[in-house]
Amino acid sequence: MPLRFTLRQIEYLVAVADCGTVALAAERLHVSSPSISAAISQLEAEFGLQLFIRRHAQGLSLTEGGRELVEEARFLLRSAAALGDRAAELTGAVSGTLTLGCLLTFAQVVLPHLRRSFSDAHPSVQFRQSEHDHAELIEALRHARIDAALTYDMQIPPDLGFLPLLALPPHALLAEDHPLATRSSVTADDLLRHPMVLLDLPYSADYFLSFFGNRKPLIAERTRDMGVMRAMVANGFGYSIANIRLGSDRAPDGRRLVFVPLRTDRLPMHLGLLLPQGAAQRRTVAAFVAHCRSTVTEAALPGLTSPRL
């Protein structure tokens, strides 16, 4: 019996399951919402099964049957990718799809340059990207929604592997008129007496607070947005802790920021690739790993590292 559905429709199905709405799935795949909706309707008609419960205010949620079919759909897409990789091995080409997740806090600095250089080197690869916090990246890798993730080595679970690419020591981020801004370095003890603006993201917040041990810093504000954190610091609401400069010593509102090295016995945090542990790498993923090894360096991405005082 001939198949009456396409891999593209299966891809749309998985995207809607991951995103929860047709609009977000369309944005992720760079297609129109009507195309996604039509594909879902065609699949439901083909399978004779309702795949999603449509809730006006809450988007779409999978039915029980839909959940089972989506897991099979993920397997089908992985098999299709493996088939493409096998063909690439026979021809010596690097092609197929690469789905990369990137940590929100540095995506704007790392991802555009990295994607551009990789796509120029391997134009046959269909590159897809998304930005998440660290916990979401771990979840996406575990459910095979992404092939790899650019993130920090924060509490890496045993079922995932981490390839370090660049060491990024911590710095205190200060307004230019902060009492500590002229120091050559500071310690956690120095910071304890001053209010803090905490970048309150999963795993990241625990990392920043870990510099103080059992002591509690004076948290004046919390935010999940890196730009808001930088602007709050620049406007005198408190210091923060950062490992990257984001390419500029200016906050989004134009006010100047000062980076002072944070003296600590802790090892530097590393930016690197989070990958499934022990799984055979597809040819496209292996090519991207090799590209990251040569591209994610302080010389190639100077905006990552905090200025040396």
pLDDT at 57: 62
pLDDT at 184: 96
Distance CA 243, CA 240 (A): 10
Distance CA 272, CA 149 (A): 8
Do the domains 170-267 and 93-161+270-295 match in fold? yes
CATH fold, domain 7-70, is: Arc Repressor Mutant, subunit A (1.10.10)
Contact predicate 249/167, CB 8 Å: no
Task: Give the count of beta carbons closer than 10 Å to the beta carbon of residue 193.
Answer: 10
Domain 93-161+270-295 has CATH 3.40.50.620: no
Give the model's confidence band at 20: pLDDT under 50 very low, under 70 low, under 90 confident, else very high. Answer: confident
- Token digits for 177? 């008129």
Of 77-86, 165-174, 210-219, 266-275, least confident by mean pLDDT is: 77-86
Distance CA 160, CA 257 (A): 36
Residues belonging to the chain: 309
Pairing of strands 269-276, 195-199: unpaired
Give me the mean pLDDT over the 225-231 stretch: 94
Highest mean pLDDT among 41-50, 135-144, 185-194: 185-194
Pairing of strands 257-261, 171-175: antiparallel
- Token digits for 169? 């020591």
Please report, for the chain, the start and end positions of each structural domain, with discontinuous segments joined by +: 7-70, 93-161+270-295, 170-267
What does R_g of the chain's alpha carbons equal in angstroms? 22
Distance CA 188, CA 263 (A): 8
Could you tell me which CATH number the domain at 170-267 has?
3.40.190.10
Residue with tokens 């759909």: 73
Please provide the average confidence, as pLDDT, over all residues in the chain.
88
Pairing of strands 96-103, 125-132: parallel
pTM of the complete model beyond 0.85: no
Distance CA 107, CA 137 (A): 13
